[in-house]
Amino acid sequence: MPIDQVETPALVIDLDAFEQNLQRMAEAVRASGVRLRPHAKTHKCPAIARRQVALGAVGVCCQKVSEAEAMVEGGIRDVLVSNEIVGPRKIARLAALAQEAKVSVCVDDAANVRELSAAAAARGVELGVLVEIDVGASRCGVAPGAPALDLARAVIEAPALEFAGLQAYQGRAQHIRAYEDRRQAIARAVEATAATVALLREHGIACETVAGAGTGTYAIEAASGVYNELQAGSYIFMDADYARNLKQDGGLNDEFQHSLFIYATVMSRPVAERAVLDAGLKAMSTDSGFPLVADFADALVARASDEHAVVETGPGAANLGIGTKLRLIPGHCDPTVNMYEWYIGVRRGVVEALWPISARGVGY
């Protein structure tokens, strides 16, 4: 089936670009001597996770129990929930999942450590545990240094938990535009993480895993000598926001190609300066700005409502008539993916694969 037979709105993967992104990251990580545990919150799709593992990834990251369940169900044998899991039912499900696969989780609270330990013991399983430290993201995590040491001791003392190391993700650095600012933000994260690793070592505690990094900074963490497991996710798809990052030489960050597109149809063309698409706020996340129009020059998404994107058009988009189908580059890939049930994999204009986004939705 040719792509222009696909009903819209739809989520389309350019398989050539996608596979090249997978290969490039696998090679970069192999060359740097660290591990890759890509984040499955980006794709929520076991078919993609299995391809990442086949290319050398040690497993995947997830952000919640329902994602981890979907990945284990889809054949992934090693899952890190790179997040805190709170509440008795969620914790019980996490422990149950550890009967089927290697499961690890992050902590930033001593009471949570005791609850995880009790649930794992009740199931007769062992959970791997990373202590999360706040290295500049100002989200979850204890402070680097002594608080991390205290929590690591609590994990080590808890039955049924295995202390696995540190989670040190600097999420806010990922979208800093200028390379030098990004590098400095990660340099500060590396310094805080290295000091914490050293403090733990002084107290006889080894960090098997020091984890973090995203698509915007992974090469910096990879070269740090401190991080040994990278958690980038968006590199497989890219998006308009990541593409705005600058490289060391000031050029646009084009190491990875856009491989993910919202496929949409022009459903109204009321005046020469405006085309209206059938993909709106319920088919695209706008938290990082509107999507870009991939296939037409002189066309800019200016507004969106529930089921419409309003595109301002210039002379270069004169042939954008009613019924024309076109591709948009999402502003932010992860929450856009979460809206869809399926990926439609396309190679050179022909549909080749349908992959269910089985971990999509407001799971918990």
Q: For its own copies, which residue of 24, 50, 64, 153 counts as binding (CB under 8 A)? A: 64
Q: For its own copies, which residue of 157, 180, 341, 352 counts as binding (CB under 8 A)? A: 341
Residues 6+ apart with CB under 8 A from 63: 39, 41, 81, 82, 83
**What six digits make up the tokens of 269?**
């063309």
**Ranges within 143-172 binding its own copies (CB under 8 A):** 143, 171
Q: DSSP label at 195?
A: H
Q: For residues 281 and 300, which CB has a smaller minimum distance to its own copies in the complex?
A: 281
Neighbour count for residue 62 (Cβ, 10 Å): 27
**What six digits make up the tokens of 13?**
């993967």
* Smallest distance from its own copies to CB 357, Å: 11
Query: Do 50 and 79 contact (CB within 8 A), yes or no?
Result: no
Q: Quote the Cα angle for 148-154-158, to 5°.
A: 145
Q: For its own copies, which residue of 1, 54, 86, 198 counts as binding (CB under 8 A)? A: 86
8 binds its own copies (CB under 8 A): yes
Residues 6+ apart with CB under 8 A from 362: none
Q: Quote the Cα angle for 53-341-100, to 5°.
A: 40
Quote the CA–CA distance of 63 and 81 in Å, as a whole number: 5
Q: DSSP label at 356?
A: E
Q: For its own copies, which residue of 155, 217, 332, 343 counts as binding (CB under 8 A)? A: 332
Query: Could you tell me which of 302, 295, 307, 320 has the C-alpha nearest to residue 9?
Result: 307
Residue 362 three-state SS:
coil
Total chain residues near its own copies (CB under 8 A): 61
Q: For its own copies, which residue of 20, 255, 340, 355 counts as binding (CB under 8 A)? A: 340
Q: How far is CA 359 from the centre of its chain?
A: 13
Quote the CA–CA distance of 299 and 311 in Å, as a whole number: 6
250 binds its own copies (CB under 8 A): no
Quote the CA–CA distance of 243 and 257 in Å, as a whole number: 9
Quote the CA–CA distance of 337 and 320 in Å, as a whole number: 26
> Which amino acid is it at 36?
L
Q: For residues 106 and 219, which CB has a smaller minimum distance to its own copies in the complex?
A: 106
Task: Look at strands 292-293 and 10-14 and give their pairing.
Answer: unpaired
* Smallest distance from its own copies to CB 269, Å: 7
Binding segment for its own copies among 18-26, 109-117, 200-208, 348-356 (CB under 8 A)? 109-117
2 binds its own copies (CB under 8 A): no
89 binds its own copies (CB under 8 A): yes
* Smallest distance from its own copies to CB 32, Å: 26
Q: For its own copies, which residue of 29, 34, 59, 108 counts as binding (CB under 8 A)? A: 108
Q: For residues 56 and 335, which CB has a smaller minimum distance to its own copies in the complex?
A: 335
Q: For residues 32 and 82, which CB has a smaller minimum distance to its own copies in the complex?
A: 82
63 binds its own copies (CB under 8 A): yes
**Ranges within 252-291 binding its own copies (CB under 8 A):** 265-270, 274, 276, 278, 281-283, 285-287
Q: For residues 137 and 219, which CB has a smaller minimum distance to its own copies in the complex?
A: 137
The angle, 0 to 180 degrees and rounded to 10, between the axes of the packed helices 88-97 and 65-73 is: 20
Q: For residues 174 and 209, which CB has a smaller minimum distance to its own copies in the complex?
A: 174
Q: For residues 137 and 205, which CB has a smaller minimum distance to its own copies in the complex?
A: 137
Positions that interact with its own copies (CB under 8 A): 7-11, 41, 63-64, 83-87, 89-90, 108-109, 111-112, 134, 138-143, 171, 265-270, 274, 276, 278, 281-283, 285-287, 303-308, 310, 322-323, 332, 334-335, 338-341, 361-362, 364
